[in-house]
Every structure is written in structure tokens, then in C-alpha cells.
Amino acid sequence: MPHLTRTGTAPRISGGERLGVGVPGYGHPLLARAEWAELVRPGTPLHWAVLNVADGPGSRPDPHCLEAAGRLRNARERALHEDAPGDAVRAAGGRLLGHLNLAGGRRPWDELVADARSFLDWYRVGGFYLDRCPTDRAALPSVRRLTATLHALAGESGHDDGSLRIVLGHGTHPHPGYAEAADQLVTFRGPWTEYRWAEVEQWTADYPPGRFAHFVHGVPRTHLDEALRIARWQGAGTVFFTDRDGQKGQTDPFATLPGYWDDIVSRIGPGISE
């Protein structure tokens, strides 16, 4: 039994708050065709997916990434205009996020801004995933400055600034002040052996589930329902679970589809009550 925020209380996701999938970053679209194709399949409960061309946007527009980005945008447009009535979760999210590596707060400012401009200009991303984001209070002002700058850049590029989504990829619980610096925080990223006994910090109970994401690898198919229950009880609105464990030459367990992808979609897709 995992450690919960409040023992004996109701889960923190209600029927009106739909659990969805966040994809930390599949492989390059040329090498991971099946993965990117699944993201545009009607009914996939996608909140967002991260595009990482070469630890960022790369040095020039990549034709395969341009195609994948366009397909994801088109799928969201169809959902927004109710041409795909089963894609309610996609309509509320469905964004492509550009990958910015903060390197724990050590990445030069001008490099981050240049990468952000490239993502906006080339791939018309709907937001940013700030990977390896710092967690301490001392770095909070610089992260706030960056997120404000990203919104300004989006406005300059003609993007609808009000819809830009920013996710902080901490991977653990940061200082509570980070909750006001972005739309969503990744408060767990790690193996199932840790997740099933993980504790959630009390301050997260002050925020709705849409503010938190959990990424867990090495989840056995037989424990998928348990993993979903933990996410709901701990107040995560976005998840990515995979049976891959990072072993046997796997450099990134999240870089491809889990073996039970269809099971995840059927459990949290359209018409599923939380």
C-alpha cells in the first residue's frame, strides 16, 4: 500500500478531471514511427508529448520532426473543432512541447532562449518541457524568469500566449514555490519499485491534479491498475507508465511504447470514469 496524502479520504481526481498521458519524449520520428503514429490515433488521451530532436531543436528544421509536429497539431485542431468527438482529452491538451535541458540550472541563458525560438519558429510547439529543472528555492527566481520569457517569446512569434503550456521536469518534489512558476510539475520519475511506496508531499494537496505528472518505468502489466490507483490517490493528472525498465541496453525506458499501451488507452481514454 503506497503512502498517501491523506489516509482514508477520497481520491483527489474526480470524474470531471480526466486523467491523461504525458509523453516525456519518444525517439526520433524516423526511428519511432509507431510511437508517433499512436499519438494521433483518435481517442488517445494525450495531454502532451515532448519533441527532442537533438537534446533540443537541433541545428536546422528536421523534415521528419516537422511532419510529426504537423500531424499532432492537426489532430488537436480536429478535436477542438469537434470533428473528433471522442478526443475530449486531446482537445483540452494534445500539445507538442519543445525539450529544453536546464542541466540543473547550469545551462547558459542565451542557449535556452535560442533553443526556444527555434522550437517556436520551426515546429510551432504549444509549450515547453524544462528537463532537469532545479528543485531548490535558490534557483526559483531564475526559473520564474525563464518561464516568463518563454511566454513573451511565444507572443512575439504569433503564438496564442494564453494557451502555451510549460511543464517543469523535476522528477521529484521541488520547493512548493515552483507550483506557481509553470502549468505542471513532474514530481515523480523513476522505477515502479520506488513508486509503489513513494510518499507525496503534503503541500501538493493544495493544488488540483492537473498540476502534477508522474512517469514510472518497470511497471508490470499485472500492476498497471495499481499504478493508476496510486497516481489518482496521490493527485497526479498526467501519467506515463511503461513495462520497460532501462535494462538490457535500453538507454531510455520512456523512449518507446510500453507493451500494454492499448491497455492504458482503454483504461483512461474517452468515457472512462475516474
Which band of pLDDT confidence, cut at 50, 70 and 90, is reported for residue 224?
very high
DSSP state, residue 222: G
The residue assigned the cell 521529484 is 172
Of the candidates 263, 213, 231, 24, the one whose C-alpha atom is nearest the C-alpha of residue 129 is: 24
225-254 pLDDT, tens digit per residue, is 999 999 999 999 999 999 998 776 557 899
What is the distance between the alpha carbons of residues 210 and 228, in angstroms, rounded to a whole number?
A: 15
Give which of 185, 189, 168, 200 is closest to 254, Cα–Cα: 189
202: pLDDT confidence band, cut at 50, 70 and 90? very high
Q: In whole angstroms, what is the distance from residue 82 CA to residue 90 CA?
A: 11
* pTM greater than 0.85: yes
Q: Is 50 exceeded by the pLDDT of residue 8? A: no
CA–centroid distance for 99 within its chain:
11
**CA nearest 102: which of 177, 27, 25, 167?**
167
Share of the chain above pLDDT 90, in %: 76
In this model, does residue 274 exceed pLDDT 70? no
Phi-psi label, residue 249: left if phi above 0, alpha if psi -120 to 50, beta otherwise: left
pLDDT band (50, 70, 90) for residue 195: very high
Tell me the C-alpha distance between 55 and 58, whole Å. 7
